[in-house]
Chains A and B, each alone.
Chain A
Amino acid sequence: MAELDTSGGGKHKGGKVRSKKASTRVDLTAMVDLAFLLITFFMFTTTLNKPKAMNLAMPDNSDTKIQMPVAETRTMTILLGGKNKLMWYMGQAGKTAPTVEGYGATQLRKTIVENQKNVAATHAAGDNDMIVLIKPSDKSTYENLVNVLDEMSIANIKRYAIVKITPIELDALKTQGLLQ
């Protein structure tokens, strides 16, 4: 029958009882496993990418004394309507018919670059950068605004401002059905 050997070695009969030298090595496998598990956990829970932001500086409207004359031929006005559509025109409101366009690389971005070139070509050097007025209507979304602001930095437009929309421009949007 199976029996447990309880004699405890039996080699040392009579001799000195030597304590067995235990190895100092510890099996670290489990510890490493645990460590890596925790690492993975912390890696996934930390927000590695901090939120990005775009700077926006609004004009100080408390001081109405500072007025800067600007050639109207150098200004491009972008009206942000509903349905992810926009309208733009160069110069003064009502004089040139606004063009309806969408957002995106092939539409708004192309137009901005073309207008920028036209303005640069028709004005004296040194004072020929284009000025963009962004006029969001109540039907435009925040994303539309951010998109247009993005286009400003892509096209490297130095001077742009978010301006309140005028009734004439609202009418223009309405006739195109972009105010719903």
Chain B
Amino acid sequence: MPRVKVARKSTAIDMTAMCDVAFLLLTFFILTAKPKVEDPSKAEVPASIKEVTIPDDNVLTISVGKQNKMFLSFSGTDVRAETLKSMGEKYKVDFTPAEINRFSNTEVFGVPMSQLKQFLGTPTSDLKSFEQRGIPADTTVSNELSDWILTARKADKGLHNQDYHIAIKGDRQEQYPAINTVIAILGHQKQFKFDLITSLKAAPKK
């Protein structure tokens, strides 16, 4: 009797399906990817059990970072350009088209009006070392932060006919008066509903 020969199978596997799946996933992740925006306020948000998510667009975020520095971030490149133009008129600063273009691509900023031109002139690679002093918000009636918020809201209303969803991001160790300043500014503009950005923690068991 002849010995039963075991057919030697090839170790090569058909990778076509695997490759398909891999590239499908890759496409998905590339399309949904939103680059992380470096937050200059470096605020460490407190934890909360609430699970309300913040919408992706049409958000105006006021961040209160270390040493009570105020940062502002609002969505919409056209809104940002429009806001800068109006703010330039108000504060009598002339911005060049290049600066306006640069500002409309800046996600977060926190510089006083006097420092803004310098900030917009700094090359992107040097921005990390550029120390942003925060937007001044000393008095609640009329200060730069309040003007920025109001101008941005007006621009958003004028361009898209929608109202900004307002969010406050604060550092957990921040003393209450800093947050209160922001709330007071918003209250002054008749904005009484806003979100406090928090990180999620588990809810206690009932």
Complex Cα–Cα for A52 and B49 (A): 9
- The one of A28, A46, A141, A147 in contact with B175, judged by C-beta atoms closer than 8 angstroms, is A141
**Which B59-91 residues have a C-beta within 8 angstroms of A?**
64
**Chain B, interface SS category:** mixed
Q: Contact mask B173-206 → A, CB, 8 Å, 1/0?
A: 1111111100100110010111111111001100
**B46 proximal to A (CB < 8 A):** yes
- The CA-CA distance from A61 to B26 in the complex, in Å, is 52
Does any Cβ of A come within 8 Å of B50's Cβ? yes
Provide the bound-state CA to CA distance between A54 and B198, in Å: 7
Closest Cβ neighbor of B194 among chain A residues: A56
Evaluate contact between A52 and B29: CB separation under 8 angstroms.
no
Q: Quick check: A56 and B29 within 8 Å, CB to CB?
A: no
Q: Does A6 reach chain B (CB closer than 8 Å)?
A: no
Closest to B61 in A: A51
* Max chain B Cβ within 10 angstroms of own Cβ: one of A58, A62, A138: A58
Q: A136 — nearest CB in chain B belongs to which residue? A: B176
Q: Does A1 contact B (CB under 8 A)?
A: no
Cβ-defined partner of A53 (8 Å) among B32, B53, B183: B53
B93 contacts A by Cβ under 8 Å = no
Interface residues on A, range: 35 or more
A162 and B56 alpha carbons, distance in the complex (Å): 28
**Which residues from 130 to 176 on chain A have a C-beta closer than 8 Å to any C-beta of chain B?**
136-147, 149-150, 153-154, 162
Q: Which residues of the other chain, A, contact B199 by a CB distance below 8 angstroms?
A: 51-52
Is the beta-carbon distance between A146 and B48 smaller than 8 angstroms? Answer: yes
State whether A35 and B22 are in contact (beta carbons under 8 Å apart), knowing that A54-B52, A61-B187 are contacts in the complex: yes
Q: Are B193 and A56 in contact (CB under 8 A)?
A: yes
Q: A150: which of B50, B52, B175 is its contact (CB, 8 Å)?
A: B50
A29 at interface by CB-CB < 8 Å: yes
Q: Which chain B residues lie closer than 8 Å to A67 at the CB level?
A: none
B2 interface hit (Cβ, 8 Å): no
Any B CB within 8 A of the CB of A45? yes
B46, A146: Cβ atoms under 8 Å?
A: yes
Q: Known contacts A45-B36, A142-B171, A146-B196; can you find 8 more A-B pairs with CB under 8 A?
A: A32-B22, A52-B199, A54-B198, A140-B176, A141-B175, A146-B46, A147-B46, A149-B48
Ranked nearest first, the 3 interchain pairs of A and B with the lowest CB-CB distance are A35-B22, A42-B29, A28-B15
Q: A: which residues have CB within 8 A of B?
A: 27-29, 31-32, 35-36, 38-39, 42-43, 45-47, 49-62, 80, 105, 109, 136-147, 149-150, 153-154, 162
Interface CB pairs A-B, < 8 A, 17: A29-B15, A35-B23, A39-B26, A42-B30, A42-B33, A50-B53, A52-B48, A52-B52, A54-B50, A57-B192, A58-B183, A58-B186, A61-B187, A141-B176, A142-B178, A143-B172, A154-B204
